[in-house]
Structure 1
């Protein structure tokens, strides 16, 4: 089994619990020491995108999700114990759901946005 940074394991727990703000902090901590790691940057931006969407920042969610999609492509199909085909499918579904014509939704109207699909991340050894 690989020895990933502890923050990577904690990222999986936080992501699966829906705590995307903490996900951002955990991945950012790793990425700050390895800024060339676009895999981490992609996970970071995917987490930030979901967080933005949940708070009505539709434009930010759209931009971050598109960036995450771009960054993660070269790591497919499998990297650091993560099935990136599942992640890629999730991102592409989100991009179909996140409205192109809306930039922001007031907090009290967030329930009017379509829900994003659920994604649960699992570490797998190959």
Structure 2
């Protein structure tokens, strides 16, 4: 399975599930730079960057990233690279709904948000694999 897509993609999913969103960006940026037409990678990158913005209290940046991630990933529905893109799209919609209306909030207020974090797993022949 690991030969079907870059190792960085599998590591991205692992780091995403561990909520290490800054590391997610670093993992996918290099392969996205080589495959700039791959909007799937760009969408995943923007989702992770949006979550990083949220953690820093930058609600405006998070909203922009989630919106663009959704736009890029729609074309890959229902599934791509063994990931349920439909599940990711639903998650992004939940993220957008959960964002406060303000553009920025203090860092200490971020922890008080009831924000929907989610993990994603690869789908292979009806089984799931956490991509480890």
TM-score of the pair, normalised by structure 2: 0.88
SS in 1 for 2:124: coil
Runs of 4+ that moved beyond 4 A: none
TM-score of the pair, normalised by structure 1: 0.92
Write 1 or 2 for the structure with the bigger share of strand: 2
Map 1:1-126 to 2 at 5 A: 1=1, 3=3, 4-99=5-100, 101-112=101-112, 114-126=113-125
CA RMSD of aligned residues (A): 1.3
Distance apart, 1:109 and its partner CA: 2.7
Structure 1 unmatched ranges of 5 or more: none
8 Å contact 2:13–2:120 — kept in the other structure? Answer: yes
Structure 2 unmatched ranges of 5 or more: 126-132
Residue-pair matches, total: 124
Distance apart, 1:27 and its partner CA: 1.2
Distance 1:2-1:9 versus aligned 2 partners, 3 A rule:
closer
Deviations 1:38-96 (A, max 9, x none): 00000000000011101100000000000000000010000011001111110001111
